[in-house]
Amino acid sequence: MTLDELVVENFGIYRDRQVITLTPPSRKKSIVLFGGMNGAGKTTILDALQLALHGKRARCSNRGSGSYDDFLRSCINRYVAPSAGASIEVSFHHEIEGRTYDYRVCRHWHENANGLKEAVDVFVDGTHDAVVSDSWAEYAEEFIPARLSHLFFFDGEKIEALADLENASELLRSGIHTLLGLDIVDRLITDLDVVANRQNKLIKLDADTVTAQDRSQREIADLISRKDELVQSIASIKSQLEQARYLRQKTIERLQAEGGDLFKEKGLLEMKRTRLSEEIDASNAILRDQAGGDAPLLLVGDLLESAHQQSRRERAAAYADLLGGVLEERDALVLKSLKDVGAIGSLVEKVSNLLAQDRSKRSKATNTPRYLSFSEDVQSVLQELRSFRLPDIQLKMTYELSHRAELSGELSVVERKLSMVPEESAIAPLEADRKSQEDKCTALEQKRADLEEELRRLGNDISRKESAMARLRDEATHSDLEQEDVSRIKHHSHRAQDTLRAFRAKVIERHIASIQDHVLESFRYLVRKKALLSSININSRTFAVQLRAADGKMINPDRLSAGERQLLAVSLLWGLAKASRRPLPAIIDTPLGRLDSSHRRHLVQRYFPHASHQVLLLSTDEEIRGEYFDAIRPCIGHSYLLEFNEIDRTSSVKPGYFERESMHVS
């Protein structure tokens, strides 16, 4: 498993979106170095990685004993709204059966009126995988089990605590049990204790069991007798109900034949007749209003057209009268002008004839008989009538006549139906019979439903009584065997526990030597003093660490320097990680802690470049500086500086490292 990228948004001390590339550019550059002052957000990076992968199972630094929801609320940056939420994305690639898969895990959460909402989305090779997303907790255990994470994700304070070998026993116990899968064995031993305790609490058979059996038998017999009565009653009611339904249907058919349906509708029909009559009266009123206006002129449309045409001719004749005198004066002036200019006689004569013909043609209009003599206003009114008012009146009256005809047709249908409605005296007896039969059917149906519900409850009671009777019978039959079973289960539980404990001891003994070798190999590589220790023994029962010198004698841990004890603590973690045989990245917070300069050099030169195929170091400005930085510089693939802004109250991730060293990072 190799981490590729980490993205945090509104998480902890980080506000907004921070993108961190983690993939080393080559095998030789396996270290990703983070630098930052105390409080700049280094531990937050470590928490973010664990939280993204394991959620509520993550071993975060500030988790505390509160609920998971409270912890997530505290992880949202305090300077953003809780509804905005926070998110973490981790991208990594992992090889499965010879094929490399790219994974991107997105964990995001926010708070709303219904509480805290968390979601996990997983993308495999760039595609969202709903199955993996829903079961991510199980998938994460395959990549990096949460119970092993403390072997790969840890801080320098843990190294300092483990330097006291008395504190290392518990780490070795949990680490070895987890590596070998013995935590499942431990849980099974505990579960067997629970089984044995439950057997001790079993209730013995009561002395009144036989009496209870007799009472149950009598109760069951009474219930069965009542059940038979109910079945017979229900069958009788069903027969009565069928007969009542038949009579009701016959009465309904007679009602329909006598006009019973129309009688029911009589009130509605009368209301409809009244409404239609009122609408017809309203339509007649509209037509009368139209008839009292201009509508009668629609009858003399031809006369109006003739009057309009005669008016136009009379107006043209009047214009011709006025124009005749003007034309005679004009023609005389034209002929005089021609003579004055000396035009030849034939031209003057021809022009004179032409003008005379024009006057004669125009004078014909003056012969039109004039008997209307309309004024301009009368002609305007006549034009408006013909063009606008009368067509509009005709359209409205046509619609109103059609509407009145429809209403009259509906009224005729309603009146025919009313004429067919029978008298109440003729229909009342039949309606009374129908109502009586309807009530009888309803009562029988209700009675049948009540009896069937009682039968259902009775059946449930019989089933419960029979089950209780069966249990009493079993208790009576097996009361002696039960005590024997309790003893046998307890005996075998204790034997199984002894077997599991023996199995656990054998497994530890079988693998403890390999773990010891890994720890010793790691220690010798770190201190480069092969003669300092000949062996490191781990007690398979107490997990206490024993050191032996080259001469085989026991060495008191106090004889080691503080730095050597801390390197031994690192060796314990490194050895357990090697024994896990899992290619997982190592993440170390405040890696150098309180080591002296010589032992710091050992870690920097011999541990960090080889702790894993990918190493993330979270360092303060007092740790990996100067010669230590120069020592691991060839192994650094990426370096980042975590800076806290006092004004914005947030940290940001920037490429580079502390001032002088950042200039040397490739």
The predicted structure's pLDDT at residue 604: 80
Are 557 and 547 in contact, with CB atoms under 8 Å apart?
yes
Last residue within a domain, chosen from 398, 420, 442: 420
State yes or no: pLDDT of 256 exceeds 70: no
The predicted structure's pLDDT at residue 39: 81
Same domain, 408 and 272: yes
Same domain, 275 and 135: no
For the ranges 12-16, 124-128, 510-514, which has the lowest average pLDDT? Answer: 510-514
How many structural domains comprise the chain?
2
For residue 533 the two structure tokens come to 């220790």
Residue 223: inside a domain, yes or no? Answer: no
Last residue within a domain, chosen from 364, 390, 420: 420
On the CB side of 30, how many CA atoms lie within 13 Å of its CA? 16
Q: Calculate mean pLDDT across residues 633-653.
A: 87
On the CB side of 293, how many CA atoms lie within 13 Å of its CA? 15
State yes or no: pLDDT of 206 exceeds 50: no
State yes or no: pLDDT of 207 exceeds 50: no
State yes or no: pLDDT of 479 exceeds 60: no
The predicted structure's pLDDT at residue 409: 87
Tell me how far apart the alpha carbons of residues 628 and 660 are, in angstroms, rounded to a whole number. 13
Q: Calculate mean pLDDT across residues 606-631.
A: 82
Q: What are the backbone dihedrals phi and psi of residue 21, each rounded to the nearest 5 degrees, phi first?
A: -85, 130
Q: Which residues contact 254 (CB under 8 A, 6 or more apart)?
A: 260, 430
State yes or no: pLDDT of 106 exceeds 90: yes
Residue 45: inside a domain, yes or no? Answer: yes
- Cα-atom radius of gyration of the chain, to the nearest Å? 55
Residue 117: inside a domain, yes or no? Answer: yes
Residue 573: inside a domain, yes or no? Answer: no
Tell me how far apart the alpha carbons of residues 447 and 633 are, in angstroms, rounded to a whole number. 93
Are 543 and 173 in contact, with CB atoms under 8 Å apart?
yes
Task: Give the amino acid at 114.
Answer: N
Q: Calculate mean pLDDT across residues 380-400.
A: 81
* Per-residue confidence band for 127, with pLDDT thresholds at 50, 70 and 90: very high
Tell me how far apart the alpha carbons of residues 615 and 603 are, in angstroms, rounded to a whole number. 13
End-to-end CA distance of the chain: 24
Q: Is 202 exposed, middle or buried (0-12, 13-18, 19+ CB in 10 A)?
A: exposed
Q: Would you state the torsion angle of the CA atoms of residues 511, 515, 521, 523, taken in this order, to the nearest 10 degrees?
A: -160
The predicted structure's pLDDT at residue 201: 53
Q: Calculate mean pLDDT across residues 640-662.
A: 81
State yes or no: pLDDT of 212 exceeds 50: yes
State yes or no: pLDDT of 123 exceeds 90: yes
Residue 559: DSSP 8-state: G
The predicted structure's pLDDT at residue 204: 45
For the ranges 112-116, 332-336, 643-647, which has the lowest average pLDDT? Answer: 332-336
The predicted structure's pLDDT at residue 120: 93
Same domain, 137 and 271: no
Q: Calculate mean pLDDT across residues 385-389.
A: 78
More confident residue, 583 or 370: 583
State yes or no: pLDDT of 657 exceeds 60: yes
* Per-residue confidence band for 340, with pLDDT thresholds at 50, 70 and 90: confident
Residue 91: inside a domain, yes or no? Answer: yes
For residue 630 the two structure tokens come to 């120069």
On the CB side of 40, how many CA atoms lie within 13 Å of its CA? 21
Q: Calculate mean pLDDT across residues 579-583.
A: 74
State yes or no: pLDDT of 440 exceeds 80: yes
The predicted structure's pLDDT at residue 124: 92
On the CB side of 27, how many CA atoms lie within 13 Å of its CA? 0
For the ranges 57-71, 250-264, 329-343, 621-635, which has the lowest average pLDDT? Answer: 250-264
Percentage, residues of the chain above pLDDT 70: 78
Per residue, the 3-state secondary structure of 75-88, as one string, reads HECCCCCCCCCEEE
Query: Alpha-carbon torsion 212, 214, 219, 224, what sign?
Result: positive
State yes or no: pLDDT of 570 exceeds 70: yes
State yes or no: pLDDT of 139 exceeds 70: yes
* Per-residue confidence band for 464, with pLDDT thresholds at 50, 70 and 90: confident
- pTM, to two decimals: 0.52
Mean pLDDT of the chain: 77
State yes or no: pLDDT of 186 exceeds 90: no
State yes or no: pLDDT of 146 exceeds 80: no
State yes or no: pLDDT of 596 exceeds 70: no
* Per-residue confidence band for 179, with pLDDT thresholds at 50, 70 and 90: low
Residue 529: inside a domain, yes or no? Answer: no
Tens digit of each residue's pLDDT (9 = 90 or more) over 489-524: 767 777 777 777 777 777 777 777 777 787 777 777
Tell me how far apart the alpha carbons of residues 617 and 586 are, in angstroms, rounded to a whole number. 8
Q: What residue numbers bound the domain in which 44 lies?
A: 1-144+585-666
Tell me how far apart the alpha carbons of residues 110 and 649 are, in angstroms, rounded to a whole number. 21
State yes or no: pLDDT of 76 exceeds 70: yes
Are 18 and 8 in contact, with CB atoms under 8 Å apart?
yes
Residue 239: inside a domain, yes or no? Answer: no
Of 295, 299, 297, 301, whose CA–CA distance to 400 is shortest?
295
Tens digit of each residue's pLDDT (9 = 90 or more) over 41-60: 888 888 898 888 888 888 88
Last residue within a domain, chosen from 373, 398, 420: 420
Q: Calculate mean pLDDT across residues 467-493.
A: 68
For the ranges 145-154, 415-424, 468-477, 573-582, which has the lowest average pLDDT? Answer: 415-424
* Per-residue confidence band for 425, with pLDDT thresholds at 50, 70 and 90: low
The predicted structure's pLDDT at residue 205: 44
In the numeric block, the tokens 């032992």 are attached to 599
Q: Calculate mean pLDDT across residues 259-263.
A: 58
Residue 357: inside a domain, yes or no? Answer: yes
Kindly report the CATH number assigned to the domain that includes residue 133: 3.40.50.300
More confident residue, 295 or 41: 41
In the numeric block, the tokens 């997530």 are attached to 72
Tell me how far apart the alpha carbons of residues 100 and 95 are, in angstroms, rounded to a whole number. 4
The predicted structure's pLDDT at residue 663: 42
